[in-house]
Structure 1
Amino acid sequence: MASRIGLKLSLRRNSRQKTDDGLQAERTSQDQRFAKTDQDPATQEVARVDATKRKEKAVILVMGPTGVGKSTFINLASNSDLRVSNSLVSCTDRIEVSNPFELDGKDVVLVDTPGFDDTSKSEADILNVVCGYLASEYKHDHLLHGILYLYRISDNRVSGVAARNLRFYRDLCGPEALPNSIIVTNFWGNVDPAEGVAREQELTTKPAFFKPALDAGARVWRHDGTVASAHRILRQLVHAAPRALQVQRELVDERRAVHATAAGETLLEDLARAAQKHAQEMAQLEEDLADAQREQDEEAQRELEEERARIAEEQAKLAGEREKLMHLQVEALTRASSPVSGVQMQNFPATFAQAMSAQLASAPQATTMTTSPPATPPSAAAEQAQQRAQAQAEQAQAKAAAERAQAQAQADAQARAKVQAEAQAKAKADAERARAEAEAKAKEQAAREQEAREQAAREQAARVQEAREKATREQAAREQIAREQVEPEGRANAPTHTAAQAPPPAPSAPSTPAPPPAAPTSASAPAPAPAPEPPKPTDYDAEHGVPQEVGPSAGCFGALARLFSAILRRLDARTLDALWARLAGLFLHPFYALLGYTRLE
């Protein structure tokens, strides 16, 4: 268990380190740092407007993540000296405006915006700054000619920060203003051309990246870092008809709060996802901490406590940002529109348009833009009071909604904790039940195996007993056969004479005298000699299996004897012995003696 907790802590630290490294890589800028001027930027801008009041002005907004090269692009195209970051810290935490420069007969002003991953401000603050500037411009009829969104083509992947900035870009523009926007890919010198083209193809064809904006009319241009390239891109927008952005109509025409705009809703969704992720991490962390406490692992407990404190801090930060977003009100909607002189750049979102309008109003000739706000009607005080009351009501509603959301979040957390506890109890009960079932099955299996072994032993004993009985029966049968074989052999061997010593003939009647001896073949034959002994039987012929000579017998009787002897030779020895034992005492004994055998082998 301790190793598992240590592994989780290691994975969590590695994941957090990778996230920090990714944010640092995303924020790293390849730009150069320019010197910051001592003169106030707002005063410079008023002077520029005074010098170029007779010319038509094109205002273009520049957006993108921190470190993507927005300030460098603006300085290159306009010969301005906006601050440029070459470190991990953003230098643009407010709206900054470039020097006006002439392009194709028009004065062009580029507006630098902070990225939504700014290091010095929260995303809610950045959204409020951008919305304040855009609402002020729209309220004074100053429309944008276009928007540039810068993206590093050298990035290996679309990071979470870049994807979030891309969503804000689409939500701020809206479908009607996207045709007046260009996605600029830069840092082509830091990537292989073929690889860069492949990345550009992927970005423009996948719905998660540039494709939704391109389908709405946006375009993609490459920037090679030269002035000519920057001017070539800007020419696509300076001659376009100015259009109102979606967020401007939402804030001014529809009088929505910041959190009720499309961009505000996107930010709320991001905050909700982050809060849910932190809640899951906290629940898992509580389980790991309980395990470490049970195992008395002090080192793991200390690390888990630090991790829990960090997540709690992140949760508090998210809750504060959500609360701040719910109560944001664009100051430009409630602030008086009287001219302000000597305005500082950090207040530019609400005062730049007013200062520019006042300066243009003092000019001897009118311009193509609206030079001053309309006169305040007599009922302006009542209208302003009504607006303040409405704003207060909206704030109260937003606060109530935030409280309800917080209560709902707490209730959800308690419900999740309860469900988790029930799930743990159920899992523990299931584990106990499974262990009991496994033990019962193991015992049952052991009993079956024991019974099988006993049955096998009984069957083996029965087989051994049966084999013994069978051997006993076979032994008795063999002994019986041997006894039966000995008795005929004794009877057959009782007369010891042979064929040469024939038994004395039985007495016969006088009418049957013995035949006379054969006559000699010649007169000179010697006296008859004693009769020779009959020849003994020879071995069997190897080819026919019958004896060549069978004694004095001849004729049909001898042939039958030879045939019968051949048949007996082809029988099994045991069968033949048993057959002889049963038939020798009957009529075959004379034939047996006639053949000259004392015992058949």
Structure 2
Amino acid sequence: MGALRERPNDVFIAVMGVTGSGKSSFISLCSDQPVEIGHTLGACTSTVDVYAYDMSPDSTVYLIDTPGFDDTNRSDTEILREIATWLGDSYRNEILLHGIIYLHRITDIRMQGSARKNLIMFRQLCGENALKKVVLTTTMWDKISSEEGIERESQLKETEDFWGWMLAKGSSCHRHCNTVASARQIIHLLANHNTPIVTDLQKQLVDQGFELVQTSAGREMQSEMLKAKKEWAKERQEIEEQMNKAIQQRDREAEEIMREERDRYTRMIKKVEDDTIDLQSTFENLLKERDERVAQIEKRMEKQQADHKDELERIKDKHRQIEKEKQAQEVRDQGPAGQQENRDVQDMGSTKSTGYSPYSVTKVGPSFCCSSPTECIK
């Protein structure tokens, strides 16, 4: 946070939404900066990044690109810890959000699964007071017919468990048409006011000193994890019963399949237990762990740079050796005369490099002797 130099008219806006909802594309259009955009199963935005663009000569908009829940590479607990650390650190340094843009794919047939879970987490993270500065934004209108899109938009707005409750609390709903003008119009809705917001997560972590698991967002996540753990434990029990039957029937193939499934559920349960422990972190612990990760990354980068420098030197040494061998071969190819000429040139070069003349004058009795590299004249 120390790298940001906030001016009175600067604006900070968080961009959130489930993985794949178009956050990186939206920010890239607004800021005219390349943002890594994923088109594979691996989610790109795994850390909180900040992108800026000048809205006017005296106002810069900072867009905070947050990782989405249901990331293919990290657990929801890790994502929440990352978001909580950034929000808490910015709040403690008196850098407040002017609003939040929440993106949702209009192409989704219905609100379920990861999208619904992400929305619930978002509500708990924001808190009721911050909802007045939330713009609920639908994306990917170019991938669906207008009629179908309008129908799904109406369902989102009219269903209380979806966007209805948030709209009633002051949030607004807008469409992003995948253009610069569309993206910046949404940004300006939040940028043209001077009243920043404080989310419940920020207040609970920093002001009230809660552990992450004690915050509204943390409690919601823990509740979801406990439900999943209970279901997986039940599944594992049933699989163990099937495995025991296979053992009794000497069905080795079925036994091996059931054993692998049982072990998979065991690993999933263990991961939930570890994630539950990770939620039991204070804000200070989150900052400390982040700083340690940054230090480790910097140390690895320094080592990589040193290794790269050593490799360049090794390549240069190899090229110099090759050049020497090439010159030596050329001399051998010239025969004895060429070799003698080369030695003479090398001797002259060597003498020249020392800074001494190849000629000398010496007095011998009444006479003088003038010597050169090839002869002596009295």
Whether TM-score is above 0.5 comes out as yes
Equivalent residue number for residue 207 of structure 1 = 160
Q: 1:190 aligns with which of 131, 138, 143?
A: 143
Aligned mates of 1:334, 1:318 — CA distance in 2:
23
Aligned mates of 1:94, 1:170 — CA distance in 2:
21
Aligned mates of 2:21, 2:57 — CA distance in 1:
27
Offset at residue 156 of structure 1 (A) = 1.8
CA contact (8 A) 2:121 2:217 kept: yes
Aligned mates of 1:332, 1:305 — CA distance in 2:
38
Q: Secondary structure at the match of 1:296?
A: coil
Q: 1:180 aligns with which of 111, 133, 136?
A: 133
Quickly say closer, same or farther: Cα 1:269–1:333, change in 2 above 3 A: closer
State the Cα deviation string for residues 413-471 of structure 1 (Å, max 9, x = none). Answer: xxxxxxxxxxxxxxxxxxxxxxxxxxxxxxxxxxxxxxxxxxxxxxxxxxxxxxxxxxx
Quickly say closer, same or farther: Cα 1:168–1:54, change in 2 above 3 A: closer
Q: 1:311 aligns with which of 251, 257, 265?
A: 265
Aligned mates of 1:174, 1:290 — CA distance in 2:
49
Equivalent residue number for residue 254 of structure 2 = 300
CA contact (8 A) 1:252 1:333 kept: no
Q: Secondary structure at the match of 2:127?
A: helix
CA contact (8 A) 2:99 2:196 kept: yes
Between structure 1 and structure 2, the one with the greater Rg is: 1
Equivalent residue number for residue 148 of structure 1 = 101
Offset at residue 75 of structure 1 (A) = 1.0
Q: What RMSD in Å do the two structures reach over aligned CA positions?
A: 2.4
Q: Secondary structure at the match of 1:98?
A: strand
Equivalent residue number for residue 59 of structure 2 = 106
Q: 2:221 aligns with which of 259, 267, 270?
A: 267
Instruction: State the AA in 1 paired with 2:65.
Output: D
Aligned mates of 1:138, 1:332 — CA distance in 2:
16
Equivalent residue number for residue 47 of structure 2 = 94
State the Cα deviation string for residues 336-373 of structure 1 (Å, max 9, x = none). Answer: xxxx9xx88x89xxxxxxxxxxxxxxxxxxxxxxxxxx
Offset at residue 167 of structure 1 (A) = 1.2
Equivalent residue number for residue 237 of structure 1 = 190
Quickly say closer, same or farther: Cα 1:288–1:177, change in 2 above 3 A: same
State the Cα deviation string for residues 532-571 of structure 1 (Å, max 9, x = none). Answer: xxxxxxxxxxxxxxxxxxxxxxxxxxxxxxxxxxxxxxxx
Q: Where do 1:590-601 residues align within 5 Å?
A: none
Instruction: State the AA in 1 paired with 2:151.
Output: A
Quickly say closer, same or farther: Cα 1:140–1:157, change in 2 above 3 A: same
Gaps of 5+ in 2: 299-378
Aligned mates of 2:286, 2:93 — CA distance in 1:
11
User: Paired residues, what number?
Assistant: 293
Quickly say closer, same or farther: Cα 1:283–1:129, change in 2 above 3 A: same
Quickly say closer, same or farther: Cα 1:177–1:164, change in 2 above 3 A: same
Instruction: State the AA in 2 paired with 1:213.
Output: M
State the Cα deviation string for residues 65-93 of structure 1 (Å, max 9, x = none). Answer: 11211011011011122222121111111
Equivalent residue number for residue 124 of structure 1 = 77
Q: Where do 1:426-437 residues align within 5 Å?
A: none
Q: 1:278 aligns with which of 229, 232, 251?
A: 232
Aligned mates of 1:204, 1:291 — CA distance in 2:
51
State the Cα deviation string for residues 514-545 of structure 1 (Å, max 9, x = none). Answer: xxxxxxxxxxxxxxxxxxxxxxxxxxxxxxxx
CA contact (8 A) 2:9 2:60 kept: yes
Aligned mates of 1:55, 1:144 — CA distance in 2:
13
Equivalent residue number for residue 124 of structure 2 = 171
State the Cα deviation string for residues 222-258 of structure 1 (Å, max 9, x = none). Answer: 0100111111111111123111111111111111011
CA contact (8 A) 2:85 2:287 kept: no
Q: Where do 1:501-520 residues align within 5 Å?
A: none
Aligned mates of 2:208, 2:38 — CA distance in 1:
37
Q: Secondary structure at the match of 1:121?
A: coil
Offset at residue 132 of structure 1 (A) = 1.0
Offset at residue 287 of structure 1 (A) = 2.4
Q: Percent identity of the aligned residues?
A: 34
Quickly say closer, same or farther: Cα 1:320–1:181, change in 2 above 3 A: same
CA contact (8 A) 2:16 2:66 kept: yes
Aligned mates of 1:333, 1:93 — CA distance in 2:
16
CA contact (8 A) 2:12 2:64 kept: yes
Aligned mates of 1:54, 1:322 — CA distance in 2:
40
Instruction: State the AA in 2 paired with 1:205.
Output: E
Q: Where do 1:21-40 residues align within 5 Å?
A: none
Aligned mates of 2:8, 2:20 — CA distance in 1:
33
Q: Secondary structure at the match of 2:162?
A: coil
Gaps of 5+ in 1: 1-41, 348-601
CA contact (8 A) 2:30 2:53 kept: no
Q: Secondary structure at the match of 1:208?
A: helix
CA contact (8 A) 1:136 1:332 kept: no
Offset at residue 334 of structure 1 (A) = 7.0
Offset at residue 125 of structure 1 (A) = 1.6
CA contact (8 A) 1:106 1:238 kept: no
Q: Secondary structure at the match of 1:221?
A: strand
Quickly say closer, same or farther: Cα 1:196–1:65, change in 2 above 3 A: same
Q: Where do 1:554-593 residues align within 5 Å?
A: none
Equivalent residue number for residue 29 of structure 2 = 76
Aligned mates of 2:236, 2:286 — CA distance in 1:
41
Q: Secondary structure at the match of 2:128?
A: helix
Offset at residue 215 of structure 1 (A) = 2.0
Q: 2:211 aligns with which of 257, 260, 268?
A: 257
CA contact (8 A) 1:143 1:243 kept: yes
Offset at residue 139 of structure 1 (A) = 1.2
Instruction: State the AA in 2 paired with 1:77.
Output: C
Equivalent residue number for residue 334 of structure 2 = none
